[in-house]
Structure 1
Amino acid sequence: MADIDLTTIWAGIIGFAVFAYVVMDGFDLGIGILFPTFSVGEERDQSMNSIAPVWDGNETWLVLGGGGLFAAFPLAYAIILPATYPLIIAMLLGLVFRGVAFEFRWRDPRHRAFWDVAFSLGSVLAAFTQGMTLGAILQGVHVENDAYAGGWLDWLSPFSLLTGAAVVVGYALLGATWLIWKTEGSTQQRARRLALPLGVATLLVLGAVSAATPFLTYDYWRRWFAMPGVLLTAQVPLLVAICAVTFFWSLKRGAERLPFMTALGLFFLGFVGLGISIYPYVVPRAVTIWDAAAPPQSQLFMLVGAAVIIPIILAYTGWAYWVFRGKVGTHGYH
């Protein structure tokens, strides 16, 4: 077991930032993915209003994760970015187009149908490319002399397409369960009807990715199935099963908050599984977190700033969610 040092602390900070982004931006991207399934008018307005106070603040964590990777692990940044440039560019374009559509939908009602389509397509594109980026990193990046040595399309594979689809489905589940919690009337009823098949689909794609990952390389297989580690890793699918049963039970009982919490639990367990597969590598099978780390003096200097900034981000994020903790209507929160 590795000693906890500045490098592992920074790996934990960036991991936390990435997971916070997936949790917080995942459900509002999910609402965009599901947007065409809601009827024009009250249902779409309610859905949009449920994320209006928080959606742009949620993306703070993406900036923190990307900026932290650049500052704390510059070698990893220099390898991963060239390996996934088309995906990163497409993701950013999707987020920008989605953000523009979000604002112009209210300010340009004559073209609202166009902005609705843009909002949905931007959300799907951002979610799909995030999943493909994950798959591209997991399947391995060709590194020579501490630099990316692969081709322009190395990121494109059946596995990365699978992980892209998995993230789209998972985000859609988060969006549906968020709307169950935050809306009422026909919007909530439609979200509840969508949540059941999305829950099944999420478990299927999670199982498919989990089954495919150990076959990418023997190292992944060994981490999951070699003794005595399997005694620990076997708890992850067990917890997934418990989470899934709780999710479907909460839907059947008509719960409002628990479906969202259990959907988050599934994402957390998926994140744990990702950590089991790749740690301590930041570029799997090529560069460890210590290989990629910035000098200790730089890490310490940034850690002082992070110790100040991250609590502030958590405080204002928590305050925003607390202020807008109620149900949302067509014209905003009650």
Structure 2
Amino acid sequence: MAVSFDLTVIWAFIIAFAVFAYVVLDGFDLGIGILFPTITVGHGRNRAMNSIAPVWDGNETWLVLGGGGLLAAFPLAYSVILPATYPLVIAMLLALVFRGVAFEFRWRDPKHRPLWDGAFFGGSVIAALSQGMILGALLQGIEVEGRAYAGSWWDWLTPYTLLTGLGTVAGYALLGSCWLVWKLSGDVQDHAYKLAMRAGIATLALMAMVSVYNLLLLDQYRERWLEWPNILFASQVPLLTAIVAFTFFWSLRRRKELLPFLLALALFLLGMAGIGVTMWPYVVPADITIWDAAAPESSQVFMLVGVAITLPLILGYTGWAYWVFRGKVGHEGYH
């Protein structure tokens, strides 16, 4: 039992790491798409696109690892969560595909560039909104009977999921604007500073609203955050969030370049820590724990060997790509 327990927890953290890596790495290029209509047509948009061109498609590797890992390590959770969120998953995947097509095709013909710019923006917004609403659908609870989803096609659509969706859109816009602050210079960077300030305010406001809403959803959430002695540990998350937020706005006023992006990543990390405090040890809140949903021990061991080989390779080539294309994108549009 001890080995099984450890393996299940290890796999839970692997999935959580993959999801976090996807959110922060694909989040900033989705954020640039969300902000695209506010960026100057022509040279400004071209520089923004070129800042993510070497890395944007590789970032989605983590989405495959997270989704595939959930299927392999927690098949019961996969079989419940997917039917509950099929419309959102389909919308997200179609948006990512359409966004990728727009990214490549906008360079082909200047006459059609406004169309593909609009598609890039629309795909980014829909993908971000869908991802946030999937999280909201999971947190608000999924109706389960026995070992199967028992809800309807539209159970995911509630005011709460719309709020989490908007929060994700704002958060990705924050990451995107901070990325542009770091990677660009001149008038586009000046504009990005303003966008980062607004996106930071919106993100923190929506995080606060979602956090308060969470306390109204399930009794177990209130117990985790408000009952003694849990409050001693849980309260550190909002406290650290306030400190990071203050430092973030200070860094923008001082016109720091890399620091705002790192602090935006820290805000996402703290947000994920808050989700962990809220949900643990449930993978489907109030119904299915990670141990209920886990694959057999032999399967977990087999997959762990594969992950031990592939995960360092993914981290290695991702780090190498970012290192090769380090530095700012010049006014001519190249690193």
TM-score scaled by length of structure 2? 0.98
Whether the 8 Å CA contact 1:38–1:44 is kept in 2: the answer is: yes
Partner of 1:244: 245
C-alpha distance in structure 2 between counterparts of 1:261 and 1:268, whole Å: 10
AA aligned to 2:73 is A
Partner of 1:47: 48
Cα distance, 1:145 vs structure 2: 1.2
* Deviation digits for residues 202-260 of structure 1 (CA, Å, limit 9, x no counterpart): 11001000111011011000001111110011111110010011001100111000111
Cα distance, 1:39 vs structure 2: 1.0
* Deviation digits for residues 46-78 of structure 1 (CA, Å, limit 9, x no counterpart): 110000000000000000000000011111000
Give unmatched runs, 5+ long, in structure 2. none
Q: Once superposed, what is the RMSD of the aligned Cα atoms?
A: 1.3
Whether 1:102 aligns to 2:97 is no
* Deviation digits for residues 275-302 of structure 1 (CA, Å, limit 9, x no counterpart): 0000111111111111111110011000
AA aligned to 1:113 is P
Q: Secondary structure at the match of 1:119?
A: helix
Cα distance, 1:198 vs structure 2: 1.2
AA aligned to 1:105 is R
Partner of 2:65: 64
Partner of 1:7: 8
* Deviation digits for residues 106-149 of structure 1 (CA, Å, limit 9, x no counterpart): 12322000000000000000000000000000000000010000
Partner of 2:294: 293
C-alpha distance in structure 1 between counterparts of 2:286 and 2:101, whole Å: 39
C-alpha distance in structure 1 between counterparts of 2:319 and 2:33, whole Å: 23
Whether the 8 Å CA contact 2:5–2:291 is kept in 1: the answer is: no
AA aligned to 2:130 is T
Question: After the TM superposition, which of the residue ranges 99-108 and 300-309 deviates more from structure 2?
Answer: 99-108
Whether the 8 Å CA contact 1:45–1:330 is kept in 2: the answer is: no
Whether the 8 Å CA contact 1:83–1:154 is kept in 2: the answer is: yes
Whether 1:171 aligns to 2:172 is yes
Partner of 2:90: 89
Whether the 8 Å CA contact 1:45–1:331 is kept in 2: the answer is: no
C-alpha distance in structure 2 between counterparts of 1:42 and 1:184, whole Å: 12
Change (3 A) 1:312 1:332: farther
C-alpha distance in structure 2 between counterparts of 1:99 and 1:152, whole Å: 28
Partner of 2:35: 34
Cα distance, 1:331 vs structure 2: 4.5
C-alpha distance in structure 2 between counterparts of 1:131 and 1:99, whole Å: 20
C-alpha distance in structure 1 between counterparts of 2:316 and 2:326, whole Å: 15
Cα distance, 1:4 vs structure 2: 5.3
Q: Secondary structure at the match of 1:154?
A: coil
Q: Secondary structure at the match of 2:151?
A: coil
TM-score scaled by length of structure 1? 0.98
Partner of 2:156: 155
C-alpha distance in structure 1 between counterparts of 2:108 and 2:321, whole Å: 24
AA aligned to 1:42 is H
Whether the 8 Å CA contact 1:49–1:330 is kept in 2: the answer is: no
Whether the 8 Å CA contact 1:35–1:120 is kept in 2: the answer is: yes
* Deviation digits for residues 12-52 of structure 1 (CA, Å, limit 9, x no counterpart): 10000000000000000000000000111111001100000
Percent identity over the alignment?
66
Q: Secondary structure at the match of 1:328?
A: coil
C-alpha distance in structure 2 between counterparts of 1:330 and 1:58, whole Å: 25
Cα distance, 1:88 vs structure 2: 0.2
C-alpha distance in structure 1 between counterparts of 2:276 and 2:42, whole Å: 42
Cα distance, 1:332 vs structure 2: 4.0
AA aligned to 2:267 is L
Whether the 8 Å CA contact 1:101–1:118 is kept in 2: the answer is: yes
Change (3 A) 1:296 1:331: farther
Q: Counterparts of 1:119-130 in structure 2 under 5 Å?
A: 119-130=120-131
